[in-house]
Amino acid sequence: MIQPDRAFREIVRLSGTGALSGTLRDGETVRVEVLGGSSPGRVRIRLAGSVVSASDICGVSPGDVFRARVRLTSGAVLLTPLTDDPPVAPRDDSPFLRLGLPETPINAQIIAFFRSINARLDPALVRGIASLAARFPGREARAAEAAAILAERGIEPDEESVARLLSCMEGASALADGEGSDGKGSGDSAGENGERSGKSRRFLSFINAKKGSDLHWVVVPFAVTLAERACRGSVRFLLDLAQGTVTQTRVTCLDGKRTWDFELSGASCAFGAVPGFDGVHSERIRVYLLKALERAGIRAVTEWASRGQGGELPKVDVRA
């Protein structure tokens, strides 16, 4: 519990202020949940339906809930905790509580995935997917996404099937199709390359086929040369066939130095990179993306604040 006699400093939202600036109003009071530490001097908190990283919170522990007043500046979202308020009771409508699941970034991502396709939430399935994802260190987020796609297609995810789809999501199947930077594929013989290409195409054709629901994900691998650098990865589209629209787009790109992830939904874009950047470079990337994507209707670009080497995607909305 927060101690009212502690001297609180303002919480500085270190990155990804664009989306929150569009959601929060200057001077309003918000409910803040402390989820846990993300790195020295920083903690993960939830407010306005987003999990973000904050600093300079004194005397708080995971599970604490308090109110704070919002102040918006040109470069940050600042929160001033209201220490004279009584403690706020934890939410009893949390999907984690209802499902009996620990509140982790991977579980939040899995829950958000199944909500995006209006699927029933099965606690046993979420636990199984999270357990499988942990077997892919450094790639947990994409592994969880791959396992969820398989489960939604009616395929029981296991380590082999997740590795196979994860390979497609990271562009290995595109390299097998002979789309490498030198135009010669991955270096295998023509027969081996053709066999791999055929297997990848058949596998993805099955994965991408409609299975009854109007909402489902489609995976499109790629291997291209950008700025004289060989890049591979995939674009994933969440299709709403009933409406004939794309409701969400995810992009993974491996450029030989970093692994980039992007998520576009509505008028917002979120991004992350492993290895990450310092605050100055992150802000430059955010501004560049905002200018590059404004013609596509993107009005807010944020960085996943606590994205770590484990590939976490904490910025998900898990509101009931």
Q: Give the distance, in angstroms, between the CA of residue 97 and the centroid of all CA atoms in the same chain.
A: 21
User: Each residue's pLDDT tens digit in the chain (320 positions)?
Assistant: 444 434 345 555 534 445 555 567 777 777 777 777 666 667 777 776 667 777 756 667 777 777 778 877 766 677 777 765 444 444 555 677 778 888 788 888 898 888 888 888 899 999 999 999 999 998 999 999 999 999 988 889 999 999 999 999 999 866 655 544 344 444 455 555 556 667 778 888 888 987 667 888 999 999 999 888 999 999 999 998 888 899 899 999 999 999 999 999 888 898 989 888 877 888 899 899 999 999 888 888 888 744 333 333 433 333 33
Q: Do 246 and 115 share a structural domain?
A: yes
Helix-, strand-, coil-residue percentages of the chain, each rounded to 5: 30, 30, 40
The pLDDT assigned to 132 comes to 96
Q: Do 176 and 114 share a structural domain?
A: yes
Query: Among 81, 105, 130, which residue terminates a domain?
Result: 81
| DSSP output for 301-314 | EEE-TT--TT----
Answer yes or no: is 132 within a domain: yes
Answer yes or no: is 291 within a domain: no
Answer yes or no: is 173 within a domain: yes
* Continuous H helices in 153-184: 159-169, 172-176
Answer yes or no: is 298 within a domain: no
The pLDDT assigned to 143 comes to 95
Q: Do 110 and 59 share a structural domain?
A: no
Query: Among 53, 81, 109, which residue terminates a domain?
Result: 81
Q: Which two tokens stand for residue 159?
A: 């380590």
Q: Do 67 and 206 share a structural domain?
A: no
Point out which residues pair with 288 in neighbouring strands: none
CA 86 – CA 65 distance, rounded (Å):
10
Q: Do 122 and 71 share a structural domain?
A: no
Answer yes or no: is 285 within a domain: no
Q: Do 72 and 136 share a structural domain?
A: no
Q: Do 73 and 194 share a structural domain?
A: no
Q: Do 74 and 183 share a structural domain?
A: no
Q: Do 101 and 200 share a structural domain?
A: yes
CATH code for the domain of 18: 2.40.50
**Strand 42-47 relative to strand 65-72: parallel, antiparallel, unpaired?**
unpaired
**How many folded domains does the chain comprise?**
2
Answer yes or no: is 17 within a domain: yes
The pLDDT assigned to 319 comes to 34
Answer yes or no: is 179 within a domain: yes
Domain span including residue 44: 11-81
Q: Which two tokens stand for residue 27?
A: 């001077």
CA 164 – CA 145 distance, rounded (Å):
13
Answer yes or no: is 224 within a domain: yes
Query: Among 81, 114, 129, which residue terminates a domain?
Result: 81
Q: Which amino acid is at 137?
A: P
CA 102 – CA 111 distance, rounded (Å):
12
Q: Do 105 and 243 share a structural domain?
A: yes
Q: Do 252 and 109 share a structural domain?
A: yes
Q: Do 128 and 218 share a structural domain?
A: yes
